[in-house]
Structure 1
Amino acid sequence: MFAVTKYTVSFCCSCKRKIKMKVFVFLAAVAVATNALSVHQHWANFKVRYNKNYESSSEESVRFAIFNENVKRVNEHNAKYAAGKTTYTLAINEFADLTKEEFRARLGISTSNVPKIKTTRHVFPENLTVEDTMDWRQKGAVLGVKNQGTCGSCWSFSATGALEGQNIILNKVTTSLSEQQLVDCSSKYGNLGCNGGLMDSAFAYIKDYGIQSESSYPYKGVQGKCVANSKLAVLWTKGFKDVAPTEDALKLAVGSIGPISIGVNADPLQLYGSGIIDDPTCDDQIDHGVLAIGYGTENGVDYWLIKNSWGTAWGEAGYYRMRRNANQCGITTLVSYPLI
Structure 2
Amino acid sequence: MASLTLSKSLFLYFFSFSMICLSFSSPREFSILNYNDDLDKFTSEEELFELFQVWQRNHERLYETLDEMLKRFEIFKNNVKYVKEENAKRTSDYDYRLGLDQFSDLTLEEFKETYLFDMDPIVRSSIGEPDSDYCPNAPQSLDWRDFGAVTDVKNQKQCGSCWAFSSTGAIEGINKIANNTLVSVSEQQLVSCDPNSYGCSGGQAFFAFEYVIKNGGIASEEDYPYEAINGTCDHEKKKIALTIDGYGNVTSLSEQSLFCAVSRQPVSVYIYATTQDFQFYKGGLFDGSSCTNVSHWNTTHAMLIVGYDSFGDGLDYWIVKNSWGKDWGDNGYIYIKRNTGDPYGVCNFNCYAYYPTKNILELDSAI
Q: TM (normalized to structure 2)?
A: 0.76
- Given the alignment, which residue of 326, 331, 335 partners 2:349? 331
- Please say which of residues 293-302 and 303-312 is displaced more in the overlay: 293-302
8 Å CA contact retained: 1:217, 1:228:
no
Q: Which has the higher contact order (CA 8 A, sep 6+)?
A: 1
**1:49–1:126 distance in 2 versus 1, CA, 3 Å:** closer
Q: Cα RMSD over matched residues?
A: 2.7
Structure with greater proportional strand content: 1
**1:76–1:114 distance in 2 versus 1, CA, 3 Å:** closer
Question: For residue 209 of structure 2, what is the aligned residue in structure 1?
Answer: 203
Letter in 2 for 1:84: S
Question: For residue 53 of structure 1, what is the aligned residue in structure 2?
Answer: 63
Alpha-carbon separation, structure 1, partners of 2:227 and 2:113: 25
1:247 is the counterpart of 2:255: yes
Alpha-carbon separation, structure 2, partners of 1:248 and 1:136: 18
**1:338–1:197 distance in 2 versus 1, CA, 3 Å:** same
* SS of residue paired to 1:263: strand
* SS of residue paired to 1:232: coil
Q: TM (normalized to structure 1)?
A: 0.82
- Given the alignment, which residue of 135, 148, 167 partners 2:175? 167
Letter in 2 for 1:148: Q
Q: Which residues in structure 2 correspond to 1:175-194 (within 5 Å)?
A: 175-187=183-195, 190-194=196-200
**1:299–1:172 distance in 2 versus 1, CA, 3 Å:** same
Alpha-carbon separation, structure 2, partners of 1:72 and 1:106: 23
Question: For residue 212 of structure 1, what is the aligned residue in structure 2?
Answer: 219
8 Å CA contact retained: 1:25, 1:273:
no
The alpha-carbon deviation at position 276 of structure 1 amounts to: 1.3
Alpha-carbon separation, structure 1, partners of 2:299 and 2:351: 8
1:141 is the counterpart of 2:149: yes
The alpha-carbon deviation at position 32 of structure 1 amounts to: 2.2
Alpha-carbon separation, structure 2, partners of 1:56 and 1:113: 40
- Deviation per CA, 1:50-77, whole angstroms, max 9, x where unpaired? 31416453x5444333322221222233
**1:108–1:218 distance in 2 versus 1, CA, 3 Å:** closer
Letter in 2 for 1:73: Y
Report the number of matched residues: 310
8 Å CA contact retained: 1:24, 1:313:
no
1:79 is the counterpart of 2:99: no
Identity %: 35
Alpha-carbon separation, structure 1, partners of 2:237 and 2:62: 42
The alpha-carbon deviation at position 241 of structure 1 amounts to: 0.5
The alpha-carbon deviation at position 227 of structure 1 amounts to: 1.7
Alpha-carbon separation, structure 2, partners of 1:186 and 1:222: 14
Letter in 2 for 1:328: V
Alpha-carbon separation, structure 2, partners of 1:138 and 1:101: 37
1:303 is the counterpart of 2:313: no
8 Å CA contact retained: 2:307, 2:318:
yes
Q: Which residues in structure 2 correspond to 1:93-172 (within 5 Å)?
A: 93-107=101-115, 109=117, 117-119=124-126, 122-124=130-132, 126=134, 128-172=136-180
8 Å CA contact retained: 1:305, 1:320:
yes
- Deviation per CA, 1:116-160, whole angstroms, max 9, x where unpaired? 653367332746341111111011111111111122111111111
The alpha-carbon deviation at position 178 of structure 1 amounts to: 1.0
